[in-house]
Structure 1
Amino acid sequence: MKKSHLSPLAFIVLCSIVSVSAAAPPPSNVPAGHPKIEYPTQSTTHQQSSSLSGKVLQVLNSGGYSYVYLLKSNGEKVWIAVTEARIAVGEPLSFKEGLVMKNFESKTLKRTFDTIIFSNGIIAQPKAAAPAATPPPAAPPARQSAPMGSKVAVRPKEKGISVKKAHGPNAYTIAEIYRNSAKLNKKRVVVRGKIVKVTSGIMKRVWIHIQDGTGSQAQGTHNLVCTTKTTPHLDDVVTVKGTLAKDRDFGYGYRYNVIIENATVSK
């Protein structure tokens, strides 16, 4: 009689239909890369699962596997085994399809799983989008066209001030200093005047405004600012000796058409 020959696939299908008391044969579709599985002697059912996603509730690493207890979005809890990996409890993970096994005994863990899925691996999570670039800081407001020190912050011309000019080759009135500022730039000068304003603690300097009665308020040539390290008294008539600077810009709006810096102030 002619013998019949069954294809391997037909044989597997036939075996899945017939109920047997002996252990099921090891399947031929174990995911590539998995360590060798020691199959239990109990009755075992083999079928393919779909991919799974959920939150990791527990992780057991043993025998080259990571056994993951996963909470699915529908509330169902399943055990999944993958090649050992670094997995944190609480993180969301997705797993590829795999082999479903019932009554699987892990000898290394010394426990039997009612149902466990040997997954083909973890599905790589998409990388988080890079945070949007921080916009550049807003540009500082445009500098005032009028120098703060020369016009905005100066004292108005006080009435009744008339201070005699200092003596010496470098002595000038305030009006003369403004008039000759280009020639006197970066040179030592001497000037007398009455202190009409004192401000300390700015840029580690003391700032004084003096007037001698000369100059024009309309032209801004009546008030002279000087920086010093001493703190003279308001309304004192003083002699100021220092270096004249023309068009001095300290930034932050502190700009002066004329200023005397590093001055010594004496009564």
Structure 2
Amino acid sequence: MKTLFILIMTVYGLWAAGPNTPVQHTARVVETMDAGGYTYMKVSEGSAPYWVAVTATKVGVGDNVSFTEQMWMPNFKSRALGRTFDKILFASMAPGAAAPVERVQPQNAPKVRLEKAAGGYTVAEVFTKRQALKGKSVKVRGKVTKISRQIMKRNWVHLEDGSGDTMTDDLVFTAESVANINEGDIVIATGKVETDKDFGYGYFYPVIVEESSFEKER
């Protein structure tokens, strides 16, 4: 009877947790390197060490870190590092688990949060919903904080709208033409969401919006 009770409680616990319950880990960093906007950590968690990739974060060998599973990737090739991982876990760091990489806020970044475009998304929403939005067209209202023209036959436009945190407040759009916009403009940008995009040469983006066009508001 006792055994049956334990079995019932175990099954109930698994059911209550549900298939979508995020898996959390705490592990010790044994090796780390940064490339293309990601920090790669080889961690030990009581079994065979494995590799984890998180958005660029300050960690050191010997640090204990906490992170939540997002997706396991077999045979993942990182052009930024020039190596292939047999298996790697893409994860998000737990709040306060490590110090984020410092980023200088652009001088023309929005001082207040901009209103979301009708039928559109905020910058932070595109980051958090990137897997569901992959391959879909999105519309984002934001302020142009930087334009890099004609790099790898693309124009790279950085938009901010006051949403997100240090790692999710700057969204990059690529476009063939940016003749109608300048840094500091408020625009509505439309384009197709792509995820885990590795252009090589250190240009790796967990989310980016391509084939973009821009409607200048002011």
Tell me the TM-score normalised to structure 2 length.
Answer: 0.51
Structure 1 Cα separation of the partners of residues 117 and 110 of structure 2: 20
Aligned counterpart in structure 2 of residue 165 of structure 1, from 97, 102, 116: 116
Q: Are the structure 2 counterparts of residues 155 and 207 from structure 1 closer, same or farther at C-alpha, using a change threshold of 3 Å?
A: farther
Structure 2: gaps spanning 5 or more residues: 1-32, 39-54, 57-100
Q: Which amino acid aligns with 2:212?
A: A
* 1:251 Cα deviation from its structure 2 partner: 0.7
Q: How many residues align?
A: 121
1:257 aligns with 2:206: yes
* 1:203 Cα deviation from its structure 2 partner: 1.0
Q: After TM superposition, list the pairs within 5 Å mapping 1:84-163 onto structure 2.
A: 145-148=34-37, 156=105, 158=109, 160-163=111-114
Verify the 8 A CA contact 1:175 1:222 in the aligned structure 2.
yes
Verify the 8 A CA contact 1:187 1:244 in the aligned structure 2.
yes
Q: After TM superposition, list the pairs within 5 Å mapping 1:189-208 onto structure 2.
A: 189-208=138-157
Verify the 8 A CA contact 1:155 1:209 in the aligned structure 2.
no
Structure 1 Cα separation of the partners of residues 139 and 110 of structure 2: 23
* 1:162 Cα deviation from its structure 2 partner: 2.2
1:266 aligns with 2:215: yes
Instruction: Report the aligned-residue RMSD.
Output: 2.5
**Which residue of structure 1 lines up, in the alignment, with residue 160 of structure 2?**
211
Identity across matched positions, percent: 38
**Which residue of structure 1 lines up, in the alignment, with residue 127 of structure 2?**
178
Structure 2 Cα separation of the partners of residues 161 and 210 of structure 1: 14
> Secondary structure of the residue that 2:197 maps to in structure 1?
strand
1:226 aligns with 2:115: no
* 1:202 Cα deviation from its structure 2 partner: 0.4
Aligned counterpart in structure 1 of residue 186 of structure 2, from 223, 234, 237: 237
Aligned counterpart in structure 1 of residue 136 of structure 2, from 187, 194, 209: 187
User: Which of these two proteins has the greater Rg computed from alpha carbons?
Assistant: 1
> Secondary structure of the residue that 1:178 maps to in structure 2?
helix
Name the one with the larger strand percent. Answer: 2
Structure 1 Cα separation of the partners of residues 172 and 185 of structure 2: 15
Structure 1 Cα separation of the partners of residues 160 and 173 of structure 2: 11
Larger RCO, structure (CA 8 Å, separation 6 or more): 2
Verify the 8 A CA contact 1:194 1:236 in the aligned structure 2.
yes
Q: Are the structure 2 counterparts of residues 196 and 258 from structure 1 closer, same or farther at C-alpha, using a change threshold of 3 Å?
A: same
**Once the two structures are superposed, what CA deviation does each residue of 1:106-138 show, in whole Å capped at 9, x if it has no partner?**
xxxxxxxxxxxxxxxxxxxxxxxxxxxxxxxxx
Tell me the TM-score normalised to structure 1 length.
Answer: 0.42
Q: Which amino acid aligns with 2:36?
A: P
Structure 2 Cα separation of the partners of residues 266 and 147 of structure 1: 29
Structure 1: gaps spanning 5 or more residues: 1-143
* 1:146 Cα deviation from its structure 2 partner: 4.0
> Secondary structure of the residue that 1:233 maps to in structure 2?
coil
Verify the 8 A CA contact 2:156 2:174 in the aligned structure 1.
yes
Q: Which amino acid aligns with 1:193?
A: G
* 1:230 Cα deviation from its structure 2 partner: 1.9
Verify the 8 A CA contact 2:192 2:210 in the aligned structure 1.
yes
Structure 1 Cα separation of the partners of residues 196 and 35 of structure 2: 12
Q: Which amino acid aligns with 2:140?
A: V
Structure 2 Cα separation of the partners of residues 243 and 229 of structure 1: 13
Verify the 8 A CA contact 1:154 1:223 in the aligned structure 2.
no
